Amino acid sequence: MAGSNLLFKVASEKAGTQWWLWFLAGNLVGFGCPVLITYALREQSPHLVYAFTLGAGFVLVQVAGWFFFHAPITVMQAGGLILTAVGLVMLQLGKA
């Protein structure tokens, strides 16, 4: 999902044929998300799968947005991202 969202961000900065190509790439990458989630649900409980896909995707999009697109992140926001990442690790370590 993070990759799809980043490709849509690139598309938003393009025009004409370039926009369509990046938009198509974002949709092709995004198509794999439900397929992979379905396989993940076979192995893990839904609350862990959705926590990781949504939580990790959120953190990855924020960090990639900062790194590739120079989107500003405040110290408070960076702290929230770190807490989210720590929470994801705690969910994994604490699974039954």
Contact 74, 12 (CB under 8 A): no
Instruction: Return the closest-CA partner of residue 96 out of 48, 60, 39.
Output: 48
Number of residues that this document lists for the chain = 96
Give 6-64 pLDDT, tens digit per residue. 999 999 999 999 999 999 999 999 998 888 899 999 988 898 888 888 898 899 999 99
Rg (CA), the chain: 16
Give 20-30 pLDDT, tens digit per residue. 999 999 999 99
pTM reported for the whole predicted model: 0.75
Which residue range(s) make up the domain with 73?
Answer: 2-93
The total number of structural domains that make up the chain: 1
Q: How far is CA 15 from CA 12, 28, 70, 94, in A?
A: 8, 19, 21, 47
